[in-house]
Amino acid sequence: MEKEAKNRIIVALDVDSVDKAIALVKELDPHVGYFKIGLELIYTILASLIMAKDEADATEILKKVRELFDLTKERTFIDTKLADIPNTIAGASKAIAKIGVKMFNIHASIGREAVKQAVANKGNSLVLGVTVLTSINEEECISIFGDKPAVKIVKFANMLVEAGADGIICSPQELKILNDFPELKKLVKVIPSVRPEWALKGDQKRVMTPGEAIKFGADYLVIGRPITKPPAEIGSSVDATKKITEEIEKAI
């Protein structure tokens, strides 16, 4: 497990241009461990390539995409939340593995066989299982999955272990529950919905501070807006990152 506090931080590059992503990576590179590239940025890249005005424009965009991945290298978390039949998951996982990313994720709800296909085709990457999205409250979880988040996440976690997944993604609120099951300790715990006390909660429902999440067993913290768009009184993105790192150091 990562010992240095800054290496526990995964910055979410949830921006609408490659230029913005590159700027954030260059600014934060010395201060964090990893960078998350998710659906907004992935589809922004795809749209910009399709809508390029000519070949020269498309070539310039591709150069920037290459620069972004060269900057992050093996420090990338591809956040695509794959959810499909086993054969499709196998093909998508194989393609992602070629990039050489640190980790990528699949929805645990795709079932054991599909998770196994992700694991079989992951290359050197870690496969993480998304359980119940942090924007979903208890009522919605019961409507979607037929049970409360705490119960459903334990079921998902056991299935992920059985299927050979490397880690789990859940809200920090469920960390306490996972600690009650020794067989689940092997899962790397990558935790979104982390908000310092000075940051707005936003659209996340089941939140916790960075220090609390680390104390309850989080291995990595996925943090977006508190770092990329910190409150004015906190200062720059680097200032926000330093404050979060200090909080993690106290908790380790």
d(CA 134, CA 137): 8
d(CA 155, CA 186): 15
Give me the amino acid identity at 13.
L
Name the DSSP class of 81.
Answer: E
Q: Write out the two tokens for 25.
A: 């990576």
Q: Which residue out of 26, 53, 73, 81 is catalytically annotated?
A: 81
Place of tokens 């399709």: 50
Q: Write out the two tokens for 152.
A: 């459903």
Q: Write out the two tokens for 184.
A: 């689940």
DSSP string, 89-115: HHHHHHHHHHHT-SEEEEEGGG-HHHH
81 is catalytic: yes
Active-site residue numbers? 81
